[in-house]
Each structure stands twice: as C-alpha cells, then as structure tokens.
C-alpha cells in the first residue's frame, strides 16, 4: 500500500504532544491510537521539549482530547471512503472480466 503524505493541523499536533507530555502515555502508544508515525510524533515532542512555543487552536484555546479524536476520525473516514472507491472499481473490473 502506498504511503500518503498527511498534513496535520496545529491543533492535532498540540493534542498529540499533550497526550505524551501531560498524559504520561508513551510515544508509540499515542502514535498507534492516532494512527500516525511514531517518529513524526517523537519529532513533535522533541521540539516541544526544546522550548518551542506550544501550538494553540486558532481561537486561542488549548486543544483537548475530544478535538484530537474528531480529527483522527475525520482522517479515518477519508481513508475508508478512498478504500471503498477502490473496491467498487475492482468489483466492477472483475464482474466485467467474468462475463
């Protein structure tokens, strides 16, 4: 399967880093739960620990776990829709081939 370059919102990044730093969870565990690369998350955490300013939501409010979950679910829905389209095309191809 081809890897897709994802772009993450600043809110998503902040929530992911917060789960590691404030939540006491490990980087691999958070990365698995958010379906992202552990290396990417490790880079974000490293930058945050070096004193980079925390990324905040556009309204100036901190991002909570619910918002991070909504973002993750939207990404998953997009991925599943793409997979559904591929399967529809494959089914049509094999149906045409069997005639």
Residue 68: per-residue pLDDT? 81
pLDDT digits (tens, 9 = 90+) for 20-62: 888 788 999 988 888 888 999 999 999 888 876 555 445 555 5
pLDDT band at 4 (very low <50, low <70, confident <90, very high): low
Alpha carbons 55 and 4: distance in angstroms, whole number: 24
What is the crossing angle of helices 38-49 and 27-34, to 10°?
Answer: 120
- Domain positions in the chain: 10-98
Residue 93 has pLDDT above 80, yes or no: yes
Residue 92 has pLDDT above 60, yes or no: yes
pLDDT band at 91 (very low <50, low <70, confident <90, very high): very high
Q: What pTM does this model have?
A: 0.49
pLDDT digits (tens, 9 = 90+) for 62-88: 567 888 888 889 889 988 999 999 999
In contact, 35 and 17? CB cutoff 8 Å: no
3-state SS of the chain is: CCCCCCCCCHHHHHHHHHHHHCCCCCHHHHHHHHCCCHHHHHHHHHHHHCCCCCCCCCCCCCCCHHHHHHHHHHHHHHHHHHHHHHHHHHHHHHHHHHC
């Amino acid at each position: 399967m081809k890897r897709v370059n994802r772009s993450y919102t600043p809110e998503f990044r902040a929530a992911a880093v917060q789960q590691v730093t404030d939540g006491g969870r490990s980087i691999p565990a958070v990365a698995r739960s958010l379906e992202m690369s552990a290396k990417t998350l490790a880079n974000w955490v490293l930058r945050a620990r070096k004193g980079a300013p925390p990324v905040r939501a556009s309204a100036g409010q901190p991002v909570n776990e619910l918002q991070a979950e909504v973002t993750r679910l939207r990404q998953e829905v997009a991925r599943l829709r793409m997979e559904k389209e591929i399967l529809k095309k494959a089914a049509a191809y094999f149906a045409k081939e069997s005639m």
